[in-house]
Chains A and B, each alone.
Chain A
Amino acid sequence: MHKIALNLLLLCCTTLSLAQSRFTVNGTVTDKKNGETMIGATVYALGNASGTATNAYGFYSLTLPAGTHQLVFRMVGYQNDTVTINLTANVKLNHALADNSTALTEVVVTSKKDNDNIREARIGVEKLTPASVAKIPVIFGEKDIIKTIQLLPGVKSAGEGGAGFFVRGGAADQNLILLDEAPVYNASHLLGFFSTFNSDALKDVTLIKGNSPAQYGGRLSSVLDVKMKDGSNQKFNGSAGIGLISSRASFEGPIAKDRGSFIISARRTYVDMFLKLSEEDKDNKLYFYDLNAKASYRINDKNRIFFSGYMGQDVLGFGKTFLVDWGNRTATLRWNYEISPKLFSNTSFIYSNYNYKMNFGSTSKTTELRSKIQDVNLKEEMTWYLNTKNTIKFGFNVIKHNLIPTRTTTGNTVTGNKKGRSAYENALFVNRTWLVTDRLTIDHGVRFSFYTLLGGDTYRMYNNGIQTDSVVLASGKTGKTYINPEPRVQFNYTINDVSAIKGGYARNSQHLHLLSNSTSSSPTDQWFGDSYNVKPEVSDQFSLGYSRNFNNSKYQTSVEVYYKDMKNQIDYKDGADINTSRDVESELLFGKGRAYGAEFLVKKTQGRFTGWVGYTLSKTERQINGINNNRWYNARQDRTHDISVVGVYDLSAKWSLSGLFVYGTGNPVTYPKGKYQIGDKSVFIYTDRNGDRLPAYHRMDLGATYTKKTKRGREVSWNFSLYNAYGRANAYTTIFEDHETDKSRTVIKQTSLFRFVPSVTYNFKF
């Protein structure tokens, strides 16, 4: 059946190209220096309206009328190239671009204006490369792509230094975080002060704020698509960085020149080494390490395979009686197959695992809590470059989830008879990019998601925490299936060379939910799938934007507004017992949410001074029966104003200076209003959930980078940074408690973290 369909498709392509006497030029765009494939490089024929961009594997396909064309290859940060071709048949044209650093002069005269952001950008999409963020100051000097993303409008940091983030009013678990297509279930290290992404191993990062095309799905708010480097297929080389609290090293090289490459990157922190120095803390442990590895091999002109893997582990130990460790593991095996010059296929087998383990108790007997989520995933995505006006993406995704809820083991007995649950999360999708006219592009599609409960456990139904019914699903049986159609549409209308209107609507559904009863996510939060009580979360987002470039595209500005409606939102009921309750479902409440806002961005992308100013005005609320007397309340991620200013100034060839400033309305918090006494201790009275706010958060960070080439042409750099340069004591937590000694009064204590944190990192290449 599959074969027939494929043949039909092939036939279709051939017929079309013959009928119009058009031919297809296709190939892969790579970086001349190391053979890395380029994502999002544009390819177009001069004097011809049609153009295309390379896909996630550097592949492009462009169909043009027979005859001579001048094909332009462009990529930000690289020199443009023009290749003359004479099309008399389908042509394969692989092309390598040289980066700007090898250019002889600073001035590159481009016949075309640098206005890709106007012509191609989709609504709510932000793209970053590790190189573009390398000079922005960060805490502990550890460049981190997630920290930089938090500086963009519409994205909010989950907390001081934290790696969690909120997109357009969504919760932290509503972001789909993909590392080479594998979902990463916990993207933070070391209590959130580092993200799991080691910048040295990354090639490209794209954040889609809710209006994702149909090939993405499974989360309500955003997709953070992180792609790892393939490694150089030209020569062996390495880089390393030594910082105050962590170090990292990468090594890459060809497996076979021009055909295959590998990269391996490792990182470890050594805060605990310092702990060991002090007698007092020598029993404490606090560290993480992670490892990224990738290999790729081009079998022939039409087939290429990739293998990527990640593993990371965090350990936090306290005294002799407490140890928690958690970690992610992902592995992706991909096969690119060029079925025809117009039909590109990618097949991925993906494995993803997140688990945590917590041990506590005496030295002789320990109690252990553990939980795990494990996925096996098959994804097929076809890109069909149908004709100059239409590109169609279609495919399917089959994921088998295995979720093991928090289980307690004491001694040798497993108690609390919670079983693991498994489910299929399947999807079918089709998406068409349609160049309606020279000015109007419409991107539309639909994704169908299917979530099927698998047998092996008893599913109970609850009403207000009281069990009303139950379904015993025997092993091998399937239970309820939730089917969610998710239509998506967006457009880009180019008004002129420098301005465009964009808009979109997208429905997203989410079948996995991170249950958390705290203000920020902790590694012990558990992932939970749909059940008979827990329905898929659904969101509808409408957005509209306007972009305008000024001064020959030196300045790019944009404004976007959005409204998002969310259904089946989940929270714990007040005072929920999340670890020892027999069935965590009895502790849940369901409701709805809404979020709306406006995002403004002014960006300068060229010249010695680059940077941006972002401003977000937004509102995010929840309404859940059983919380806040059933009234709407501010979600914990509600922040009215958010401002970020980022600037990098290249002082000389060797020195560059950078700075950033952030300001945000204080997070909503619940403060007590009154108090009483029970058993010699004060008990506080609360009336409105999240009815108060922390003081406004603001901070300035400064950085300087010194780069030079050694005599042998190796690059070394020193990175200096000062986090929270003016020492603002931002409220991290506010504690209300009885005075330690004076029992006649209560006190309010405010804790702040990180004032004046200097750091220095030495980076070198070898």
Chain B
Amino acid sequence: MKNIFIMAAASALLLISCTKEVNLPLKTVPPTIVIEGNITNEKGPYTVLLRKTVDFNNKNTYPPVEGATVTISDDAGSIDTLTETSPGVYQTATLVGTPGRTYTLNMLAEGKSYNATSTMPQPVVLDNVKFELFTSKGDSGKPEYSALPEFTDPANVANTYRFIMRVNDTLNTEYFVLNDNTFNGQKNEYILFDPGAEINAGDTVELEFRCTDRNNYLYFFTLSQFNSDGPYNTTPTNPPSNIKGDPAYGIFSAHTVQRKTTVVTP
């Protein structure tokens, strides 16, 4: 929530600042494997993406890791061996994502082994997405709104949530994460705060609501701390990954998904 202060402060400073694109001679890193695996309560197949890191000053083209052996097992005894459907893209065949199950990813790639586990929490129902007036005249010159996801947090467990927002089919670049430390067992009242979102009346907002486990929350919470601007910026670090074994980046996540598409009305 410090973020909110930062974003507001940064916006105030924008009045007197000037920004330009620059080139910096940055240090480099050896290419390292990146694992991105998602299991959801939606219909399979589920995908594990294996790619390599690149240096910052390179294009966003990530070399795929081919020919890996990837399996996902659950705590009920099922095991699924994934098939590489295109370079670096591995898909499940039989697995059915079920809330409450713990999933274990095991893989062998280029002679190195990796593993990760994640537990899919029970889903929480997103009742509605409400839009609150954010400012009566924003940068767009029109009234702007903030999304308020309405749901009731279950009291008996520690819940963590993540939201992925698309406005008129464009992905919002902020990381929206929440934990229930301050509203355990109550209705959520936190808006998805992003002064740059520029949501106007008539826009179509698609919200993907994820119930995640703690490790996934921490990963995206850490990222959410750095994507801001100004002197109040947190010193950036690598987010804590749940991938064990040889050095790797990325995240393996079992989470529930609910989507809601809403047209913004004042």
User: How many B residues touch A, CB cutoff 8 Å?
Assistant: 84
* One of B28, B136, B182 near A410 (C-beta < 8 A): B182
* One of A579, A684, A748 near B22 (C-beta < 8 A): A748
CB-based contact A580/B182 at 8 Å: yes
Per the 8 Å Cβ criterion, residues 728-750 of A in contact with B are 729, 732-738, 743-750
In the assembly, what is the distance between CA of A636 and CA of B27, in Å? 20
Contacts of A87 in B (CB 8 A): none
Q: Per-residue 0/1 for A307-337: is the Cβ within 8 Å of any B Cβ (1 yes, 0 no)?
A: 0000000001011111010000000000000
CB-based contact A749/B191 at 8 Å: no
| Contact of A713 with B by CB under 8 A | no
Known: A360-B191, A752-B18. A280 touches B141 (CB 8 A): yes
* One of A280, A580, A738, A749 near B181 (C-beta < 8 A): A580
* One of A322, A523, A575, A738 near B173 (C-beta < 8 A): A738
B59, chain A: closest CB distance, angstroms: 5
Per the 8 Å Cβ criterion, residues 132-153 of B in contact with A are 132-139, 141, 144, 146, 148
In the assembly, what is the distance between CA of A691 and CA of B236, in Å? 12
| Contact of B171 with A by CB under 8 A | yes
In the assembly, what is the distance between CA of A581 and CA of B2, in Å? 13
| Contact of B234 with A by CB under 8 A | yes
In the assembly, what is the distance between CA of A160 and CA of B231, in Å? 9
Contacts of A736 in B (CB 8 A): 56
Known: A415-B182, A574-B237. A744 touches B60 (CB 8 A): yes
| Contact of B76 with A by CB under 8 A | no
| Contact of B227 with A by CB under 8 A | yes
Contacts of B136 in A (CB 8 A): 282-283, 320
| Contact of B9 with A by CB under 8 A | yes
| Contact of B67 with A by CB under 8 A | no
Contacts of A191 in B (CB 8 A): 9, 12-13
* One of B23, B27, B62, B182 near A676 (C-beta < 8 A): B62
Contacts of B133 in A (CB 8 A): 320-321, 362-363
* One of B24, B32, B148 near A734 (C-beta < 8 A): B24
How many residue pairs link A and B with beta carbons under 8 A? The number is 262
CB-based contact A746/B1 at 8 Å: no
Q: Kindly specify which of B77-85, B93-101, B109-117, B215-223 makes contact with the partner chain.
A: B215-223
In the assembly, what is the distance between CA of A519 and CA of B229, in Å? 11
CB-based contact A322/B23 at 8 Å: no
- CB nearest neighbor in A for B146: A321
Q: Per-residue 0/1 for A400-428: is the Cβ within 8 Å of any B Cβ (1 yes, 0 no)?
A: 00000000101101011000000000000
Known: A283-B135, A678-B250, A745-B59. A672 touches B173 (CB 8 A): no
Contacts of A365 in B (CB 8 A): 189
A480, chain B: closest CB distance, angstroms: 27
Central interface residue in B28, B138, B229, B230, by most chain A CB within 10 Å: B230
CB-based contact B8/A410 at 8 Å: no
Known: A580-B179, A732-B17. A522 touches B5 (CB 8 A): yes
Known: A575-B240, A745-B60. A360 touches B193 (CB 8 A): yes
| Contact of A671 with B by CB under 8 A | yes
CB-based contact B235/A752 at 8 Å: no
| Contact of A595 with B by CB under 8 A | no
* One of A362, A413, A678 near B251 (C-beta < 8 A): A678
| Contact of A751 with B by CB under 8 A | yes
| Contact of B161 with A by CB under 8 A | no
CB-based contact A676/B13 at 8 Å: no
| Contact of B11 with A by CB under 8 A | yes
In the assembly, what is the distance between CA of A454 and CA of B182, in Å? 26
Known: A316-B9, A522-B6. A686 touches B184 (CB 8 A): no
Known: A319-B134, A367-B190, A751-B229. A578 touches B53 (CB 8 A): no
Contacts of B34 in A (CB 8 A): 676-678
CB-based contact A754/B54 at 8 Å: no
CB-based contact A675/B56 at 8 Å: yes
Contacts of B59 in A (CB 8 A): 744-745
| Contact of A7 with B by CB under 8 A | no
- CB nearest neighbor in B for A192: B231
Known: A522-B2, A677-B34, A747-B21. A577 touches B221 (CB 8 A): yes
CB-based contact A675/B8 at 8 Å: no
| Contact of B75 with A by CB under 8 A | no
| Contact of B4 with A by CB under 8 A | yes
* One of B36, B62, B183 near A415 (C-beta < 8 A): B183
* One of A321, A683, A684, A687 near B132 (C-beta < 8 A): A321
A527, chain B: closest CB distance, angstroms: 15
| Contact of B86 with A by CB under 8 A | no
CB-based contact B36/A679 at 8 Å: yes
* 4 pairs of A and B residues whose beta carbons are closest in the complex: A575-B222, A319-B135, A674-B29, A362-B132
B interface vs A, CB < 8 Å?
1-2, 4-6, 8-9, 11-13, 16-24, 26-29, 32, 34, 36, 51-56, 59-62, 130, 132-139, 141, 144, 146, 148, 164, 171, 173, 179, 181-184, 186, 189-191, 193, 195, 218, 221-223, 225, 227, 229-240, 249-251
CB-defined A-B contacts under 8 Å, sample of 20: A162-B231, A191-B9, A280-B137, A286-B12, A324-B5, A362-B130, A408-B1, A519-B234, A524-B2, A574-B237, A636-B235, A671-B26, A672-B236, A673-B27, A679-B36, A683-B249, A685-B53, A729-B20, A733-B231, A750-B22
| Supplied contacts A410-B189, A675-B55, 13 more A-B pairs, CB within 8 Å | A319-B138, A362-B133, A363-B133, A367-B190, A369-B1, A517-B2, A518-B233, A683-B223, A733-B229, A733-B233, A738-B173, A751-B19, A755-B18
